[in-house]
Amino acid sequence: MNRFGYVPGLSEEISRRDFIKLLTIAAATMGLPVGFVKKLEAAVKSPTRPPVIWLHFQECTGCTESLLRTSNPAFAKLILDIISLDYHETIMAAAGSQAEEVLQHMINKHAGKFICVVEGSIPTKDGGIYCQIGGKKAVDIMKEVAQKASAIVAIGNCASFGGVQSVEPNPTGAVGVMEVIKDKPLINVPGCPPNPYNILSTLLYVLTFKKIPELDEYRRPKFAYGRRIHDHCPRRAHFDAGRFVEHYGDKGHRLGWCLYKMGCKGPVTYANCPTTQFNDVGVWPIGIGHPCIGCTQPKVGFHLPVKLKVKPQEVVPPEQFPPITVKEGKATIAGVAAVSAALGAAAGAAGVIASRLPDKEERDHEGKAKES
């Protein structure tokens, strides 16, 4: 164990093949060409690794736990080598006053240089008394550390948008980090838990390009949260054809039909779950037969009942159409079919929505939920 309380052997060597594989996946997640893998590798091997202070507030530690349990390649081992993780309450051996000493030492030593990663929401009601660490309120710790940080990365739905703790009546006044810190570069990486590759890619982007990635209106990296789940879901064809699961275990459920009627929030949720997936074995909620709960979207995950149907924001063609090709000045049959499908998809899908989606009673329920 070194002077700051870390146990040696937690971050072990991985093969170069796995190392390059992980960087390639990260590059693909960021939408970068394969040629950028060398730049990512150079940044990772740089002797000036960015120090990271990792804070925990109101949460279940699920984001960290899922991160530590990923494998093939061993993500947790690599992430501890990519960055200089100088403070993390879950994996450090130090506790009590010793841990507080480490935190103060590190934020002073690396003032203006470290990245602050935050896991968990921050209570603000009654002065923020509902979460205290070492006698200090979470909101005060957050402000103190953020003041000396170069940037902040809020991981998980709790740190990004308040999480389940912020659901009405929200007795602790739980909020996301961006509601407390207004004057620092801040990136939200939501999810419950967020995909480890999204966390890795975000940190690698900052490390490689020395800036934060392009963000959407909720401060999420567009490379990971720029597309709706519904638009690139492998079950989208069943939605357009009007084939829906009506009950868990029915024929449609066994055949992999659309989960919209089971309350899937994919039509209003932005994330790369269908393409990146989890655990390197093709696992994600819809892939195992459960509707998306919208955990990457503010005011959707935890705020709307799982069974409640949501109204699709807009009707757009899915992304599985074949490419349009031109040969000797003429479009191929596949190309013509693709064009026809694209032009007719909106009208066709609109018809499906009108005839098979929520009835009046369900729409009324949905409206009331939205108003509340």
Convert the pLDDT of each residue in 326-361 to its tens digit. 454 454 444 444 444 444 444 444 444 444 455 444
Q: What is the CA radius of gyration of the chain?
A: 23
Q: Are residues 171 and 286 in the same domain?
A: no
> Checking DSSP bridges between strand 186-189 and strand 151-155, what pairing results, if any?
parallel
Is pLDDT larger for residue 340 or for residue 114? 114
What is the C-alpha to C-alpha distance for residues 119 and 193, in angstroms, rounded to an integer?
10
Per-residue pLDDT for 2 more than 50? no
Q: Are residues 202 and 266 in the same domain?
A: no
Q: Are residues 350 and 300 in the same domain?
A: yes
Q: Are residues 111 and 80 in the same domain?
A: yes
Q: Are residues 298 and 236 in the same domain?
A: yes
The pLDDT value recorded for residue 148 is: 95
Q: Are residues 350 and 272 in the same domain?
A: yes
Closest CA relative to residue 316, chosen from 224, 215, 233, 214: 233
Last residue of a domain, one of 225, 249, 265: 225
Query: Poorest-confidence range of 29-38, 71-80, 102-111, 357-366?
Result: 357-366
What is the pTM (predicted TM-score) of this model?
0.78
Task: Give me the chain's average pLDDT, please.
Answer: 81
Query: Poorest-confidence range of 26-30, 112-116, 129-133, 216-220?
Result: 26-30
The pLDDT value recorded for residue 372 is: 45
**Integer CA distances (angstroms), 281 to 70, 72, 236, 276, 277, in order:** 11, 9, 21, 10, 8
Q: What range defines the domain where residue 299 resides?
A: 229-371
Query: Phi/psi of residue 2, each to 5°?
Result: -85, -175
The pLDDT value recorded for residue 39 is: 78
Closest CA relative to residue 66, chosen from 56, 57, 76: 76
> CATH number for the domain including 348?
4.10.480.10
Q: Are residues 312 and 173 in the same domain?
A: no
Is 1 part of any domain? no
Per-residue pLDDT for 174 more than 80? yes
Per-residue pLDDT for 225 more than 80? yes
Q: Are 152 and 187 in contact (CB under 8 A)?
A: yes
Is pLDDT larger for residue 195 or for residue 218? 218
> CATH number for the domain including 147?
3.40.50.700
The pLDDT value recorded for residue 312 is: 83
In single-letter form, the type of residue at position 41 comes to: E
Per-residue pLDDT for 221 more than 50? yes
Q: Are residues 295 and 309 in the same domain?
A: yes
Q: Are residues 42 and 22 in the same domain?
A: yes
Is 3 part of any domain? no
> How many domains in the chain?
2
Q: Are 30 and 201 in contact (CB under 8 A)?
A: yes
Q: Are residues 154 and 261 in the same domain?
A: no
Q: Are residues 216 and 280 in the same domain?
A: no
Last residue of a domain, one of 165, 197, 225: 225
Is 10 part of any domain? no
Sign of the C-alpha dihedral computed for residues 142, 146, 148 and 149 taken in this order: positive
Is 251 part of any domain? yes
Is 281 part of any domain? yes
Is 305 part of any domain? yes
Q: 12-69 pLDDT, tens per residue?
A: 456 777 777 777 877 777 777 677 777 777 777 776 777 889 999 999 999 988 887 7
Q: Are residues 221 and 238 in the same domain?
A: no
Is 2 part of any domain? no
Per-residue pLDDT for 189 more than 50? yes
Last residue of a domain, one of 198, 225, 252: 225
